[in-house]
Amino acid sequence: MWWIIGVALQICIIGLGIRREQRSGLWNWSKFAFATAFGIIECFLILVPILYLNPRSRYFGVVMAAAVLLALLNFIGMIVLARRWKLPDGRTSLQAYRDRQRIVPGQEQR
């Protein structure tokens, strides 16, 4: 029962994040699709050993550790890649985020 509330809360948080990014002009559907596919791949990397290997096997720990390490390295690579994504105006996502943080409330962006 609690997982339903967790999923609903996650959907709400994602929806609010999308709205905020759309208002600030940083939203891109292709990035969303890529990030969603990336998340699914990460889940599969962790779940496949759990679902298909016998937990009492002597290889389970080694395979699980390798899967977690691969998922971690994949995640770090995703962060590096995401920092280089370009927006339609040519700025990277990181530059746009920094520019947005420097804006004082009440001032217009130039």
pLDDT digits (tens, 9 = 90+) for 35-92: 889 889 999 999 999 999 998 999 999 999 999 999 999 999 888 887 777 777 777 7
Task: Check residue 47 and give its pLDDT.
Answer: 92
Residue 104: pLDDT above 60? no
Phi, psi of 86 (to 5 degrees): -105, 145
Alpha helices in 2-92 (DSSP H): 2-24, 29-52, 60-83
Tokens found for residue 73: 């390295």
What's the rounded Cα separation, in Å, for the pair 63 and 68?
Answer: 9
What's the rounded Cα separation, in Å, for the pair 110 and 3?
Answer: 44
For residue 71, give every residue at least 6 positions away whose Cβ sits within 8 Å of its Cβ, in sequence order, or none.
42, 45, 46
At 86, is the secondary structure helix, strand, or coil?
strand
pLDDT band at 105 (very low <50, low <70, confident <90, very high): low
**Residue scoring higher pLDDT (30 or 13):** 13
